[in-house]
Structure 1
Amino acid sequence: MRRGAALMASGTAVSRVLGLLRGMVMVSAIGATGQAADAFAVANKLPNVLYMLLAGGVLNAILVPQVVRAYKRKAGQEYVDRLLTLGFVALAATTVVLTLLAPVLINLYSNFGNPAQDALATTFAYWCIPQLFFYGVYALLGQVLNARGSFGPYMWAPAVNNIVAIVGFGVFIAVFGGWEESGVVEAASWTPGQTALLAAAATLGVIAQAVVLIPALRRAGVHYRPRWGLRGSGLGAAGGIATWTLAGLAVGQLGYLVVSRVASTAPAAAIDDGVSATAVAGIAAYDVAFLIFMLPHSLVTVSLATALFTRLSGQAHDADVDGVRATLSSGLRVVGVFTIFATAAIVVLDLPLTRVVLARATVESADAVSAVVLTMIVGLPAFGAWSMFQRAYYAYEDARSMVPIQVAMAAVVVAGALLSRALLHPSSWVAGAGAAMSVSYLVGAVVAAWRLRRRLGGIDGPRVLQVLARSTLAALVSAGIGGLVLLLLGRGLSTGLMASIIECAVVGTVMGLVYVGALRLLRVRELDSLLLPVLRRLPGRRR
């Protein structure tokens, strides 16, 4: 498990670093706030939202457990072939239909109130929604690879996506200039060439992400052949799981739908109050903040949860309740040790980190995004725990039990976003939605823990809570020292990009060392699960 998690973590780390670079280049091209940035954000997010709604959760819920069992049978590859064929055809048909519905989807997920911005977003959507098919292919092939014990390619493929997009956005800047020189902030100023180049760069990246998995399949011994017919394949039972998974995801997407509409309205509403739209967080700012929020989650939580999921599925299939409980406990403790520190570090370095990511953005844009990052990041530990609990439910192919939890989480997000719009200034609407998102993860984690505790006869709660409490104490000490160092550095540095980079590097290093030292003193052994892959690479530590 550690080897698989380390391999995935390295791929995810590279991919996420490249993802940050991609975001920086994109912001340099079109800005972090403003009409064009928000129009592209809505359009380019649609394939992700649609994929999660129509395929992503279904694949997580049914594919790995089904494939793990299939490869234990003689006719396992035939079953996998039928499943892949069905998936490819369904993805293709769905993508065509949804691409034709681009104008409807843009009106559904945004409320710009500006015809030029609506038209630009719709044009972007025609280019971007086809990404849905290739996201689905990537997920299908990647989950088959994971079930075969080949974890690396699935986690490394997004790096290719980011590289292609970075090159494409770089070409955009080389041809048309950055947002400051080209004047692309306003939607009405865009030309067909600018629209095609920017959107094509994003879509080509997703295509590359899927295609690079094909050679890895052959190396893993998977030789796909299109096969039709599902009778007797056992997929009927999986269909019931998929139905409940879709129900839960649909509920969750209702929450994002409300957030998207509130966020897309904020800049225009702020103008009515005499505030510049580029100084107000909109949907593009929400996406940048979410990118920063997801970075630590992807580095450890996704990698570890993916590596553990195959084990959980096998233990659940074998009715090994003790094994499921032990695996879940291990995942919760290791994820908690990391996410608690990541939360403390990003809270302290919120503004400098945001300024680094938005290297060419205005001071006002960076301030607007940093406020959203802050409200999101406080929910990171709960998000990590909720992700682990989801894997436990999926291992038992029990998507139905999660639906009430997801309804409660979506209700919190919707209520929070609407209350923010009713009570706060438009410049704080997106930050309020981020806070609601954090509360929803806490609600989800607490309720899921309570229900799984009853199902599994406990989740090793006292041990998990003890580790989390000690980690929180270590993080508070680390944050206090880190904040002091940041204050001292701020007296001698400017507020420019280089100063922010120095602050992130110095304070981040100090906080990391203090945290590790405090965990050692508090005897938090889960730290070894995070550091062992690194320690093994040091001279003299190889065995």
Structure 2
Amino acid sequence: MLRASAIMAAGTMVSRLTGFVRTAVLAAAIGTFALGDAYNAAYTIPLILFDLLIGGVLSSVIVPMIVRAKKQDADGGRAFEQRLMTLAIVVLTLIAVLGVLLARPIMVLYTASNWSPHKIDVAASLARFILPQIAFFGIGAMAGAILNTRDRFAAPMWAPVLNNIVVIGIGVAYYMTGSSDIDKVSDRSLMLLGLGTTAGIVAQSIVLVIALHRAGFRFRPRLGLRDTGLGEAGKAALWTFVFVGINQFGFWVTTKLATGAGDAAPGAGNSAYSYAFQLFQLPYGIIAVSVITAMLPRMSRYVHDGEFDSARAEFGSGVRLVSSVIVPSGLLLMVLGPAATTLIFSWGNMNAENALYIGYVLQVFGLALVPFSIFQLLLRVFYSFGDTRTPAIIAAINVAIQATLSLIAYSTLPARYIVIGMAFAYALTYVIGSGVAWVLASKKIQGLGGRGVAAGLSRMYVAAIPAAVVALAVLWLAREIAPITALSSAVILAAGGGFGLLFYLLAAHRMRVPEVSSIIGLVTSRVGR
């Protein structure tokens, strides 16, 4: 699992680093005021609709069912995979067309009620160019799921790099020709921004389709659904749709409140929340997603064969491996968040104050990194059993807590602190949600080895405390010498982050944290070669 995760983590790291550049370029081009909020709202709609229609089904239903089809079907699951791909193409293409036709009502739904008609028109124009992504998202995601079941993990993690490169080029072109003022932006500039964003997803999907072809998959349209097992998949997917729908309701509440906060306090709204959330997802995306992707097919095979001991061992190994990286990353985000965002965002139409504010939001998100990552791993326990009902129930609890706390933050905090309060609501939600999920998953699989996981996490936190102290000392010293600028932030990140991680690795190695020792061994062996 570590070797497979390392391949994916390498691709994800390059993807996320180029994603940093992409985000920084877009922020420099469009800022975090009204146009930035409009773009981020429009950009998230395809992701929302894709999640509602198929995204959540991939990990919870499709991957385990492909694994079973490969074991049970005479053709090794080939016809089943072709039917899945055909269904995804047809359904998502129709949804993409419908989304384009309903772009304005959708944007009215997801933006603040006090937005002017012109702001909504701009967001709707962007959405019309961006919503066709839904079909290409689906094709690429389905190709990635089939590749994962064939233990081909590299292409799905490396393909987003091309997407980022395309959008970086579009962002540079927009910065040179467009305007960050929503009242001055032209239709041609909106077309460049919207179609350029979609072009990145098209390029990403093409790469995945080519990789799938090289893996031996040959697409042949198949529309017959009888006696294929897709009826069973539909029943299981029903609860996944409920799960995703509940989560998207929570996202809708968050977007409405964040855009409202940004209208009252420019620069402290949806764009600041979205950019901080993207950076918060970096450590999770590099290590946790890689481990989860490698873990789920293996756990599904163990559960299918009744090997619960092996499934428990796989889960425990995955949690400890993820936590060995996530624990120090969360603490370092809480210390170095403002330095990171100042380096990334204080360019072009962004100023240092707005970049620093994103860092304050990121610091609060750092609290959520460990519980959020463990929560995602716990969901895979249910999915390996084909249980999609329990995650939907847990999601309802999470959304109820997060929406309530976010509404309290919106109604009680000053406008400039609302999204910071919403980030804290997010963190507290996943602390509670991961506790509930752990109890239910433990009953499902007859124990999760909680004592071993807790002991491992305790050692990791003890090893990570010196890293956080070193980073904090570097930050304090740098601020005593000079104000935080892009240059000083680069020094702080290099010194504070570099020495902090070095102290963590040394402490963890001395404390005999096996996952850290395994990672060090893997890296040194690769470097040695």
Do the aligned partners of 2:352 and 2:485 also contact (CA within 8 Å) in 1? no
1:275-323 Cα deviation digits (max 9, x unpaired): xx23xx1111111001110111111000111011110111111111111
What is the distance in 1 between the residues matched to 2:111 and 2:147? 37
Aligned to 1:179: none
Give the SS at the match of 2:514: coil
Aligned pairs (5 A) from 1:333-482:
333-360=320-347, 361-482=350-471
Task: After TM superposition, give the deviation of residue 494 of structure 1 in Å.
Answer: 4.1
Aligned to 1:156: 158
1:299-354 Cα deviation digits (max 9, x unpaired): 10001110111101111111111111100101111111211100111111111101
Aligned pairs (5 A) from 1:42-441:
42-72=41-71, 73-75=73-75, 76-111=77-112, 112-176=114-178, 182=179, 184-185=180-181, 187-270=182-265, 277-278=266-267, 281-360=268-347, 361-441=350-430
Give the SS at the match of 2:520: helix
1:176-207 Cα deviation digits (max 9, x unpaired): 4xxxxx4x23x221101110111111110011
What is the distance in 2 between the residues matched to 1:229 and 1:58? 20
Aligned to 1:517: 506
Aligned to 2:30: 30
Do the aligned partners of 1:368 and 1:427 also contact (CA within 8 Å) in 2? no
Do the aligned partners of 1:383 and 1:441 also contact (CA within 8 Å) in 2? yes
What is the distance in 2 between the residues matched to 1:498 and 1:5? 34
What's the TM-score, normalizing by structure 1? 0.94
Given the alignment of the two structures, is residue 530 of structure 1 paired with residue 519 of structure 2, yes or no? yes
What is the distance in 2 between the residues matched to 1:296 and 1:473? 19
What is the distance in 2 between the residues matched to 1:225 and 1:200? 29
Give the SS at the match of 2:226: coil
Larger displacement relative to structure 2 (437-446 or 240-249): 437-446
Give the RMSD, CA atoms, in angstroms.
1.3
What is the distance in 2 between the residues matched to 1:257 and 1:522? 44
1:214-244 Cα deviation digits (max 9, x unpaired): 2211221111111120101011111111000
Task: After TM superposition, give the deviation of residue 485 of structure 1 in Å.
Answer: 2.1
Give the SS at the match of 1:536: helix
Give the SS at the match of 2:469: helix
Task: After TM superposition, give the deviation of residue 113 of structure 1 in Å.
Answer: 2.1
Aligned to 2:3: 3
1:346-374 Cα deviation digits (max 9, x unpaired): 11111110101203121221232122111
Letter of the 1:99 counterpart: V
Do the aligned partners of 1:266 and 1:427 also contact (CA within 8 Å) in 2? yes
What is the distance in 2 between the residues matched to 1:507 and 1:60? 37
Q: Size of the alignment, in residue pairs?
A: 524
Do the aligned partners of 2:262 and 2:270 also contact (CA within 8 Å) in 1? no
What is the distance in 2 between the residues matched to 1:86 and 1:407? 28
1:440-492 Cα deviation digits (max 9, x unpaired): 11122111111111122210111100010111111122111221122223333
Letter of the 2:74 counterpart: K
Letter of the 1:79 counterpart: F
- 1:499 is aligned, of 488, 508, 517, to 488
Do the aligned partners of 1:158 and 1:209 also contact (CA within 8 Å) in 2? yes
1:18-51 Cα deviation digits (max 9, x unpaired): 00000010011111x2111101110011111111
What's the TM-score, normalizing by structure 2? 0.97
Do the aligned partners of 1:313 and 1:396 also contact (CA within 8 Å) in 2? yes
What is the distance in 1 between the residues matched to 2:140 and 2:433? 28
Letter of the 2:108 counterpart: N
Do the aligned partners of 1:334 and 1:529 also contact (CA within 8 Å) in 2? no
What is the distance in 1 between the residues matched to 2:519 and 2:401? 33
Task: After TM superposition, give the deviation of residue 2 of structure 1 in Å.
Answer: 2.1
Gaps in structure 1 of 5+ consecutive residues: 177-181, 271-276
Give the SS at the match of 1:149: coil
Do the aligned partners of 2:316 and 2:448 also contact (CA within 8 Å) in 1? yes
Letter of the 2:55 counterpart: G
What is the distance in 2 between the residues matched to 1:152 and 1:367? 35
What is the distance in 2 between the residues matched to 1:146 and 1:54? 20
Larger displacement relative to structure 2 (216-225 or 5-14): 216-225
Give the SS at the match of 1:291: helix
Give the SS at the match of 2:183: helix
Give the SS at the match of 2:526: coil
Task: After TM superposition, give the deviation of residue 421 of structure 1 in Å.
Answer: 0.9
Aligned to 1:273: none
Give the SS at the match of 2:519: helix
What is the distance in 2 between the residues matched to 1:529 and 1:197? 46
Task: After TM superposition, give the deviation of residue 530 of structure 1 in Å.
Answer: 2.9
Task: After TM superposition, give the deviation of residue 175 of structure 1 in Å.
Answer: 2.8
Letter of the 1:28 counterpart: A
Aligned to 1:16: 16
Do the aligned partners of 2:263 and 2:269 also contact (CA within 8 Å) in 1? no
Task: After TM superposition, give the deviation of residue 268 of structure 1 in Å.
Answer: 2.4
1:54-75 Cα deviation digits (max 9, x unpaired): 2100121111111112222322
What is the distance in 2 between the residues matched to 1:371 and 1:485? 18
What is the distance in 1 between the residues matched to 2:425 and 2:478? 33
Aligned to 1:41: 40
Letter of the 1:118 counterpart: I
Letter of the 1:89 counterpart: V
Gaps in structure 2 of 5+ consecutive residues: none
Aligned to 1:274: none
What is the distance in 1 between the residues matched to 2:202 and 2:383? 28
Give the SS at the match of 1:349: helix
Letter of the 2:23 counterpart: G
Do the aligned partners of 1:47 and 1:128 also contact (CA within 8 Å) in 2? yes
Letter of the 1:105 counterpart: I
What is the distance in 1 between the residues matched to 2:157 and 2:295? 15
What is the distance in 2 between the residues matched to 1:41 and 1:27? 10
1:92-138 Cα deviation digits (max 9, x unpaired): 11111122111111111111422211110011111111111111111
